[in-house]
Amino acid sequence: MAATLSLPCPARLGVVRQAGPQAELHRCTLERNVNKMEKLLKKGVDVDCVNDLGQTSLFCACLVGMTSAAELLLQYGANPNQ
């Protein structure tokens, strides 16, 4: 599951190799689907789940400048230091 980004990305983004809610959260983050992200977070998906490179959804959102996604993740308790 590789995401296609319209912005140049200064670092390589990882992927979540196994299907499941964590992979869905990462995918929705990169697709800027804040509504779906919120639904997943309300269901209890770990806001600090990591991809194969150890990157959280918050890290990925910040890396590519998705402010609304980053704000949502922080509202749900994402650890900015992870």
Burial class (CB in 10 A: 0-12, 13-18, 19+), 38: middle
Report yes or no on 8 lying in a domain. Answer: no
Reading the block at residue 35, the tokens are 């509504």
What CATH number corresponds to the domain at position 53? Answer: 1.25.40
Residue 1 domain-assigned (yes or no): no
Domain of 64, in residue numbers: 21-75
Residues of the chain with pLDDT under 50: 1-2
Q: What is the pLDDT of residue 77?
A: 96
For residue 24, the number of C-alpha atoms closer than 13 Å in the C-beta half-sphere is: 14
Residue 45 falls inside a structural domain: yes
Number of structural domains the chain divides into: 1
Q: What per-residue confidence (pLDDT) applies to 74?
A: 96
- What rounded mean pLDDT belongs to the chain? 86
Asked if the structure places residue 5 within a domain, the reply is no
pLDDT at position 1 is 44
